[in-house]
Amino acid sequence: MKANRLFRVSVAVLCVIPWTYAYIVDPGPVVKATKGEIWPKPRNQTTSQHYYRFRPGTFRFQPTNFTCDILNTALVRYQKIVLAIGNKTRRVMFKRQYSSQVANILQSAYGPRSWSSDPNWNGFVEQVDVDLKAPCETLPYLSMDEEYTIVVNDSQALLSSYSIWGILRALESFSQMVVLAEDGSTLRINATTVNDGPRFSHRGLLVDTSRHFVDTPTLVKILDGMAYNKLNVFHWHIVDDHSFPYESRTFPELSQQGAYHPSMVYSQADIAMIIEEATLRGIRVMSEFDTPGHTRSWGVSHPELLTECYDQYRGKLGPMDPTRESTYTFLSQLFREVIEVFPDRYVHLGGDEVGFECWASNPNVLEYMKQNRLYSFEMLEEKFIQRIVDQIDALNRSSLVWQEVYVNGVQLPNGTVVHVWTGNRQDLLAKITRDGLPALLSSCWYLDHLSTGGDWRKFYNCDPHDFVGTGAQKSLVLGGEACMWSEVVNGNNILPRIFPRVSATAEKLWSPANVNNADEAARRLEEQTCRMNHRGIPAQPPNGPGFCI
């Protein structure tokens, strides 16, 4: 009896000891942030211990060659961003005299305050020369030139690129290199050379504004956050089953009757503003009007567009009715308007998650299939999508479609992009590119799939080229997109749900393939998150306990 009791006590002690040790931690942040590191990590960067200082009163960007409205606006924007670093410092330093704890933290984070005799200090930089070597383009586009160089040396700073889009990326990288001086009196930057450019040309973020409406100021904040991470495509999933918030010039009744509320509609002026704000940040705006499924809100004003259900689904409306010529006429008129409103070359046509129950219950649909020798609902969907893709092709635009369209055998025109979102991504990417079609990847970057606050690592460990294929096949992968579906987010929580988790996707799409050390990235992401917080983006903590000054 006593022996059994001792045995039970021994087992209990053995079980408790490892559990107890798991809670022995050191004070301070779990992940110590870097200082002045660039996100996403550049292709090539050399940094010296020597550094320069800026006087906030004299610091300025100076264009030296071509200029334009996009550049001038960017210089004003980044001047404010850089100078705001110094403004925040002065407020912190004022508090410092009242809090020894804050003083200790600052001393630990930024080192000794004496710098005038520091042998690594090489003087002041008075201005940053911005050399745009070619005239400005007016709209960002797929495969635009985003290459840039930064040289900070000999008390001079130079940003240069052959395109305005490269200059925008250079300004962002430069602003990230500028940090607070130890005593808070000036800004500092290390002597640095950067030669950088993106690995993939399409680096996107999908935002769904149908399940929950997201107001335009929040959308502009999202564009800001995208620019801070060098993302360049805002995929606007603007309408869906639940609401139709797009104000159509041709069919105004779609939003008048299909939106949640008259205040929850994007006017033509709103859309033009979002496109302009995106352009100023080097971001394309790509619209998605999903068909033939995800269209229930269209049927509030135009029930004739949708399939009438019978049998157990009687009284319901299903996907678009592919048997009526009037459906295609309507869509032709709408898409003719869409390509005028959204100037990007690409239109996303959706084509995913089409439920066949309603088609299967409708006798007119079944008779149509019989007359046209369509032996499956996949074949019926193929016939519908083929008509829509051909319409877009005839309008001299290119289509993107979700993977179901490809899997169901639609004969896609050359250049139609297949968007992979589910299933075995490696197999799908291999097959799509083997057939000579360009592809985008999203399946491993679903931001609405939340596991923990630090789940950015699962996004970071996904690579678009992680499939068996030739070099030619892999060159057909244009990049990818992180997706923020909005079933459980709205304007109140969408920003912290996106940021900084999307930053992981951004680095995988920008940085070289060999930038794959998540532990090293964690320190830079800690800094990037604080940086976004300072710039007004309520990004959530990425790595657990820590702090931002």
Does residue 353 have an active-site annotation?
A: yes
SS3 content of the chain, % helix, strand, coil (to 5): 40, 20, 40
The Cα 466–Cα 508 span in angstroms is 12
In order of 10, 12, 23, 27, the CA distances from 18 in angstroms are 13, 11, 9, 20
The Cα 497–Cα 225 span in angstroms is 12
Structure-block tokens of residue 264: 């929850």
CB proximity list for 349: less than 8 A, separation 6 or greater: 288, 289, 290, 291, 385, 388, 389, 392, 399, 400, 401, 405
Cα dihedral 411, 414, 419, 422 sign:
positive
Q: What is the DSSP string of 332-400?
A: HHHHHHHHHHS-SSEEEEE------HHHHH-HHHHHHHHHTT--SHHHHHHHHHHHHHHHHHHTT-EEE
CB 504 within 8 A of CB 525: yes
CA angle 186, 187, 188 (to 5 degrees): 120
Q: Which member of 353, 357, 507, 527 is catalytic?
A: 353
CB 337 within 8 A of CB 249: yes
Helices (H) and strands (E) in the chain, counts: 18, 18
Catalytic residue positions? 353
